[in-house]
Structure 1
Amino acid sequence: MTTSRRPERTDATRNRSSLLAAAEVEFAEHGLGASMADIARRAGVAKGTVFRHFATKEELIAAIVGGHFRALTAVARGLADAPDPGAALLEFLTAAAGGQAHHDLSFLQTLTEGDSGIAALRDELHGCVEQLVDRAREAGAVRADITGTDVWVLICAPVHATGYVSDPAPDLWRRYLAIIFDGLRPAGAHPLPRPAPRWP
């Protein structure tokens, strides 16, 4: 019995992964107008297979957003004890921006407001970012008045900046990440005009 079910579980896992990958492309290309039928077609499965994994489009979106939060949390945790805290923070921001540059799906996050599971994953990631920033600040790699929430707000900025450029180079976001990170450094820093926002 166990042996016969193993291929079914493997197929289900493969189908789920294919659906999530296809959904990311569809949402990136067509926004919220992406249909479940088109997602199924891109994944190479029947439409019914989509609904066996995700009962609604909202559930599918939550799975995508949650997956991104989990992936970034894993990156942040892997850098938590890095010997160079400043380099670790920059590496995290590079990984975050690089993932968004592939498919910028940050607009999907607003649709998961009120989802307690996604909120818990978001708070967990924010805590990891806060830890990276605290270590970088204590090491003198970033200015003393920078908080984890400041950096959280800036995570999407490098990729969003390229949206104002017609036909940007694929890695143009790296230029804006460098500008942002230089702004976090203590050298030449001026007092900030407003306090940092509070994490909700």
Structure 2
Amino acid sequence: MTRPLRADAARNRRLLLAAAADEFAERGLEASIADIARRAGIGKGTVFRHFATKEDLIAAIVLDRVEVLIETGDHLLGAGDPGEALLKFLEVAAEQRQERDLSFLHGASSANTQVSQVQDRLRATIDALVDRARDHGAVRDDITGTDLFLLMCAPNYVAGYAPGAPPDLWRRYLAIIFDGLRPQGAHPLPHPAPDLLPETNV
């Protein structure tokens, strides 16, 4: 049984993960453990007491971010309006990416068993949100969880091609995307949804 972290150890871990996320967002995978420790205001040895390797630290960041999405999605499964719940989930995913785009870390942690397991849980949550919205006629019949999984990064990605634009420009493209998911005026899609890609970024 895993023992809970002491209050000071838990605090150090939170500071460390936040500092590491900021450092990776600024420097990419070249960010060093020394710079991360300095940013967190802790010693380098403390980093290695929490995470044996840099890869373990990256995996922990990915796990934390995906867990937030799973918790959000699971909560929204109980919302009264399935269509609005699905839209809210996409908003939270876009806001997370807008705050720090760390999608490149997912590829670096793809071999981690825990990351693979939590990604599977996220996909299951998205499937449930989409199934519920589809059953209530909020999205078109041919939309799948895979489609939503792949579209999660699209609003931020598109908005990134407009330098100097307002930081919430992604909302415009999310609205366009979500209108395309609605059944009103829908035309048949030209290709079936693809199989899930194991290293797809979120």
TM-score by shorter chain over 0.5: yes
Question: Could you report, residue by residue, the CA deviation over 1:135-164 in whole angstroms, capped at 9, with x for unpaired residues?
Answer: 101111111100001000011111111221
Question: Which TM-score applies when normalising by structure 1?
Answer: 0.93
1:17 maps onto 2:14 in alignment:
yes
Picking from 58, 62, 71, the partner of 2:59 is 62
Partners of 2:169 and 2:79 in 1: CA distance: 27
Partner of 2:189: 192
Aligned Cα root-mean-square deviation (Å): 1.3
Partner of 1:113: 110
Which letter maps to 1:188?
Answer: G
Partners of 1:114 and 1:61 in 2: CA distance: 12
Question: Could you report, residue by residue, the CA deviation over 1:56-95 in whole angstroms, capped at 9, with x for unpaired residues?
Answer: 1110000000111111100000011211000000011101
Partners of 1:14 and 1:115 in 2: CA distance: 24
Picking from 121, 126, 135, the partner of 2:123 is 126
| Higher helix content, 1 or 2 | 1
Gaps of 5+ in 1: 1-5
Partner of 1:172: 169
Picking from 18, 38, 52, the partner of 1:41 is 38
Partner of 1:102: 99
Partners of 1:36 and 1:156 in 2: CA distance: 28
Deviation at 1:199, TM superposition (A): 2.9
Question: Which TM-score applies when normalising by structure 2?
Answer: 0.93
Which letter maps to 1:110?
Answer: G
Partners of 1:159 and 1:61 in 2: CA distance: 22
Partner of 2:83: 86
Partner of 1:28: 25
Which letter maps to 2:134?
Answer: R
Deviation at 1:168, TM superposition (A): 2.7
Which letter maps to 2:16?
Answer: L
Partners of 2:134 and 2:154 in 1: CA distance: 21
Partner of 1:3: none
Q: Count residues with an aligned counterpart.
A: 194
Question: Could you report, residue by residue, the CA deviation over 1:19-71 in whole angstroms, capped at 9, with x for unpaired residues?
Answer: 00001111111111111111111111111111111111110000000111111
SS in structure 2 of the partner of residue 183 of structure 1: helix
Partners of 1:109 and 1:67 in 2: CA distance: 12
Partners of 2:66 and 2:153 in 1: CA distance: 13
Partner of 2:200: none
Partners of 1:144 and 1:15 in 2: CA distance: 47
